[in-house]
Each structure stands twice: as structure tokens, then as C-alpha cells.
Amino acid sequence: MPESEARVKLWQIVSAIEYCHSLGVVHRDLKLENLLLDKNYNIKIVDFGFSNFYSNDNTLKTFCGSPPYAAPEIFEGREYIGPEVDIW
């Protein structure tokens, strides 16, 4: 894949996650298996089974997601707001 195309794919992923976060939704299980391509080769994020609503006023502590991809906060059982575990 040319670097220019890889940049477009990364932008699509980041934009989609930013959109979810703007709605107060955290995915909590981002991994390659949950990134699909549509017929036009656009990235689609799927499997929102571990997703949750979040706010800056309430922390989450649920252990969820796929261990090889889990953020340290989740793995260590620490409280988190939400977006930071998607960015990990």
C-alpha cells in the first residue's frame, strides 16, 4: 500500500473515533479485526459490543476488550474517562 493511501486510511480511522467521542461513545475494543473495508475501500469500524457512553464527570472501570490490545488503564483495573483507552 502506498504511503499516501495509508495516510487516508489512518485519517478515516481517526476521524471515525473522533466522531464517536464527540457523541460521548467510547469503543474500548479497537483492533484490526474490528476495522473493515467497504466496497469502495473505506474503513468502517465495527463491533461496538464493548462500547459505552462516557462523560468527564463519571469514570469507567469495566475490564473489557481484547487483552493484547487493551490500554494499561483497563489491564490494571484503573478508572478511566473513556477516549484514552481508544487512543492507546
Give me the domains of the chain, ranges plus CATH numbers.
3-87 (1.10.510.10)
Q: How far is CA 85 from CA 6, 38, 43, 53, in A?
A: 23, 26, 20, 13
Q: Per residue in 48-69, pLDDT tens?
A: 999 999 999 999 998 988 999 9
* DSSP strand pairing (25-26 vs 35-37): unpaired
Average pLDDT, the chain: 95
Give the C-alpha separation, 58 to 63, whole Å: 16
Q: Which of 29, 38, 47, 86 is catalytic?
A: 29
* Banded model confidence at residue 47, pLDDT cuts 50, 70, 90: very high
pTM: 0.89
Is 29 a residue of the active site? yes
